[in-house]
Amino acid sequence: MTVFEELESNVRGYCRSWPTVFDTASGAWLRDENGKDYLDFFAGAGALNYGHNNPVLKRALIDYLVGDGITHGLDMSTVAKRRLLETLRDTVFAPRGLDYKVQFPGPTGANAVEAALKLARKVTGRQTILNFTNAFHGMSLGALSVTGNAAKRAGAGVPLVHVTPMPYDGYLDAADELGWMRRALDDPSSGVDQPAAVIVETVQGEGGVNVARAEWLRQLAELCVARGVMLIVDDVQMGCGRTGPFFSFEVAGITPDIVTLSKSIGGYGLPMALVLFKPELDQWAPGEHNGTFRGNNPAFVTARVALEHYWSDGALQKAVLAKGERTAQALVELVAPFPGLSTRGRGLVHGVVFEDASHAVKVCQLAFERGLLVETSGSADEVVKLLPPLTITDDELERGLALLVGAVEAICG
Q: Does 237 bind ligand PMP (CB under 6 A)?
A: yes
- Closest residue to ligand PMP using C-beta atoms: 109
- Residue 132 makes contact with ligand PMP by CB under 6 A: no
> CB–CB of 132/299 below 8 Å?
no
DSSP-based three-state secondary structure for 165 = strand
Distance CA 314, CA 283 (A): 34
Q: Which 147-176 residues touch ligand PMP, going by CB under 6 A? A: none
How does strand 129-132 pair with strand 163-166?
parallel
Please say which residue, 269 or 330, places its beta carbon nearer to ligand PMP: 269
Number of residues interacting with ligand PMP: please give it, by CB under 6 A: 15
CB of 95 to ligand PMP, least distance (A): 24
* CB distance 199 to 234 below 8 Å: yes
Q: Taking contact as CB under 6 A, which single stretch among the options 26-34, 200-208, 278-286, 358-366 is the one that binds ligand PMP?
A: 200-208
Nearer to ligand PMP, 134 or 335 (CB): 134
Report the candidate in 106, 135, 70, 404 with the shortest Cα–Cα distance to residue 275.
106
- Of 49, 108, 128, 202, the residue at the interface with ligand PMP (CB under 6 A) is 108
Q: Which of 39, 45, 57, 316 binds ligand PMP (CB under 6 A)?
A: 45
Q: Is 262 in the site for ligand PMP (CB under 6 A)?
A: yes
What does the alpha-carbon distance between residue 154 and residue 362 come to, in Å, rounded to a whole number? Answer: 26
Is residue 206 part of the contact set for ligand PMP (CB under 6 A)?
yes
Please, which of residues 369-408 interact with ligand PMP by CB under 6 A? none
Which regions of 41-120 does DSSP assign to beta strands (E)?
A: 101-103
C-alpha 351: how far from its chain's center?
A: 14
State in angstroms the smallest separation of the CB of 239 from ligand PMP. Answer: 9
> What's the start-to-end Cα distance of the chain, in Å?
36
Among 38, 41, 136, 168, binds ligand PMP (CB under 6 A): 136
Output the smallest distance, CB 264 to ligand PMP, in A. Answer: 11
Q: Which of 272, 337, 276 is nearest to 303 (CA)?
A: 272
**Residues 106, 109, 195, 400: which binds ligand PMP (CB under 6 A)?**
109
Provide the 3-class DSSP secondary structure of residue 340.
Answer: coil
234 phi/psi in degrees, rounded to 5: -85, 100
Q: Kindly list the residues in this chain that would bind ligand PMP in the complex (CB under 6 A).
A: 45, 108-110, 113, 136-138, 201, 205-206, 234, 236-237, 262
